[in-house]
Homo-oligomer: A and B are copies of this chain.
């Protein structure tokens, strides 16, 4: 119980290099903004980015990761198939995964969902209000009945994902849309949390309620020491009658 949760925050880290506006909001990159509150809550956190060898996601790193956080947007297609496959296997083996915002279109999320993961979107400096629809879920511990973001990108339904196992947050947008913004899934032994907010030009990840949800999400997605699945050919446990 006392072992620290091992988190790896993965960030594409491209907007930060291309766009001064983003650098102003996230001077050390989105990954460092995400890492800070996790560290403050007592977790062991490392970061990894696309430009690193193996995108910073060597087998060794993944084997030591309890929960992986994923932020990507304009370079999904530059993530190598080999690394996607490696992350996929680790999730099925029990590693938690938090997919943020535009990560909905990442290769790993689409592979885990089995759907297109498309949605409606708009960048219009509009207000988002995330309503809690599952108040006893550990992911919303310590929160109020909603969170307001003064300016965010809009994501609208239909969001092409499988029916979430748990729907935790639903967003209201000023421009007239709604969105299933906090959704959980299980794949193999791994727990997955999709959380919508976090457009790169807005200070969303500096907001304390957003940070709280991500910290809670990491705790929820951490692996449990459950039964290791057993597959393949197995003799009967009980006697089978010979048939005539």
Contact surface of A with B, Cβ cutoff 8 Å: 92, 94, 111-116, 118-122, 124-127, 129, 131-138, 140-145, 150-151, 154, 156-160, 162-163, 165-167, 170-178, 180, 185-191, 223-238, 240-241, 243
Specify which of B92, B142, B225, B238 is in contact with A174 (CB 8 Å cutoff). Answer: B238
Q: Is A241 a contact partner of B174 (Cβ separation < 8 A)?
A: yes
Q: Is A177 a contact partner of B237 (Cβ separation < 8 A)?
A: yes
Q: Is B136 a contact partner of A224 (Cβ separation < 8 A)?
A: yes
Given A134-B163, A157-B133, A188-B115, do A141 and B175 touch, yes or no (CB 8 Å)? no
Q: Which residues of B contact A235 (CB under 8 A)?
A: 122, 175
Q: Which residues of B contact A162 (CB under 8 A)?
A: 162, 165, 185-187
Q: Is A176 a contact partner of B119 (Cβ separation < 8 A)?
A: no
Given A145-B158, A178-B171, do A229 and B191 touch, yes or no (CB 8 Å)? no
Chain B proximity of A70: nearest CB distance (Å): 15
Docked pose: A121 CA to B174 CA in angstroms:
19
Docked pose: A171 CA to B234 CA in angstroms:
17
Q: How many copies altogether?
A: 4
Q: Is B132 a contact partner of A226 (Cβ separation < 8 A)?
A: yes
Chain B CB within 10 Å — which of A140, A158, A237 has the most?
A158
Docked pose: A115 CA to B143 CA in angstroms:
22
Docked pose: A225 CA to B224 CA in angstroms:
22
Q: Is A227 a contact partner of B94 (Cβ separation < 8 A)?
A: no
Q: Is B234 a contact partner of A132 (Cβ separation < 8 A)?
A: no
A-B contact pairs, 22 of them (CB 8 A): A114-B114, A114-B187, A116-B188, A120-B232, A125-B240, A125-B243, A127-B240, A132-B157, A134-B163, A134-B186, A135-B229, A138-B224, A140-B224, A141-B224, A141-B226, A145-B230, A165-B166, A170-B170, A172-B172, A172-B173, A174-B236, A175-B235
Q: Which residues of B contact A176 (CB under 8 A)?
A: 129, 172, 236-238
Docked pose: A92 CA to B126 CA in angstroms:
31
